[in-house]
Amino acid sequence: MRNYFIDMYLNRLYGVSGMIINNVIALLIPILVEELKFRGVKSFAVFLSKLICAVIVMNLLCAASYALIGHVAMSQICGGILVTLWLALFSRSKIFTRLICGFSFVATLEIVLVDCFSVFDIMLELGSMNASRGGVELLMIIMLVGFVCFFKVFSTGRLDEVYLISVGLSGGVFGICTVFWVITNVIYVDPVSRLTVGLMLTTLLLGVYYSAYAVSKTIATNNRMRMDKLLRDADANMLGVVERNMEELRQLRHEIDNQYTYMKVLLDGGEYEKLGAYFSEYTERFNTLLSFVDCGNRVVSAVMNLELQKAAGEGITIDHTVSVPKEMSFSDSDICSLLFNILNNAIEYLCRRRDTDRRVQLSVKLVNKTLFVSCANAIEKQDAENARRLVTSKPDAAMHGYGSKVIGAIAERYNGSVKYDAEGEGGRFCVSVMLFEPSENRKKA
């Protein structure tokens, strides 16, 4: 049985490239998958240990491959296995992001090595073997590093959503690159043809990856702009509510002596029914003024006041308990989107079911850097099953149903969870969301 370590490192049967390329591939995988944000010596040491681990695992995979099939295609096969393991075990990205990353990296290994070996074969045919070998090895490393840098700069892992069509395109390019790589290893293809097709596939690979990134980023930007507009509208609405409440409070303060005098006259005259009716009217006016929410957090207060006003216009009452600090480490647009979607879903349902209890219970609390949001409203028996399966009951169903996806995406972004409960026959529909504050402030992200 062939010994990989003796042949590769001691006897150097495959030259310097055999010693370097596989280890470079191993080092690039953690750099590609991990977030390169070091918060101190400890996090940097952990990353270094991952690099060492990647090199060790890569060499073990290469040793097993070498013992079974020899050196042919060892780098591509072992690199593909290692990046798959790394994405499965260490990546926190969504599954679509992992698939695009894996497809793109393995396709890169296949095409870069084919391109570089094609260059080497062309130079070999020109009789410059000794002069070309080191240059081709250097070109291979530069191309691999360049591809990984490209993937990091345009990383889909930073995007809110990656769409299935992007995964399909990346998978298609990966399949084409794999077929071409297999063909070049099974049958003879002249170096010029190999290099020409390889460069075309290299361009296609980069173009498809960037397209996946650009499309997803554009959609994410549009969604963020929509949330920012909603937040601005909420702020403007809150300012208007404050101004109206302040004006009414000034009027009440001006009238208060007259109000007390009139109530005293009614009391002294024993006109208790008129007094009761007048007091009820007076109390309702105060309750309207006191319904304004100012929990200390600008975003939560703005959303709450906008939704309270919307609900009041539909005859819906929102009983709320809000306990959050002035500043939180969640993105403003995420909190805005989360609360808007949760409350809008409840309000819109009660608007369609006018005979249902017109009350919504909302709780927003931050406890030990964990945000708990729960919202409950009455639900009809016939709607309970659809609610449990998150199937919209709106007439234009094709245009709706995104609220639960947005809520789920936000929960996933903060390593949290979403739970839906529905009970028919006078029961309640409740959505409960739990988010964990990130270790570093993401409000500016």
pLDDT tens by residue, 101-123: 999 999 999 999 899 888 888 88
Q: How confident is the model at residue 396 (pLDDT cuts 50, 70, 90)?
A: very low
| Residues 180 and 196 sit within 8 Å (Cβ to Cβ) | no
- Asked if 437 contacts 405 with a C-beta cutoff of 8 angstroms, the reply is no
Closest alpha carbon to 156 in 96, 206, 105: 96
Q: What percent of the chain has pLDDT over 90?
A: 24
The torsion defined by the Cα of 120, 121, 127 and 131, in degrees rounded to 10, comes to 10
CA distances from 368 to 240, 295, 413, 437, 442 (A): 34, 18, 18, 9, 17
- Percent of the chain that is helix, strand, coil (3-state, to 5): 70, 10, 20
| Residue the block writes with tokens 């393995």 | 106
pLDDT of residue 440: 46
> Looking at 122-136, 176-190, 244-258, which range is the least confident one?
244-258
Could you give the CA distance from residue 144 to residue 246 in angstroms, rounded to a whole number? 64
Report the DSSP beta bridge partners of residue 419: 432
284-313 mean pLDDT? 73
Give residue-wise pLDDT tens across range 345-371: 888 888 888 778 889 999 999 998 899
pTM exceeding 0.75: no
User: How high does pLDDT run on average in the chain?
Assistant: 79
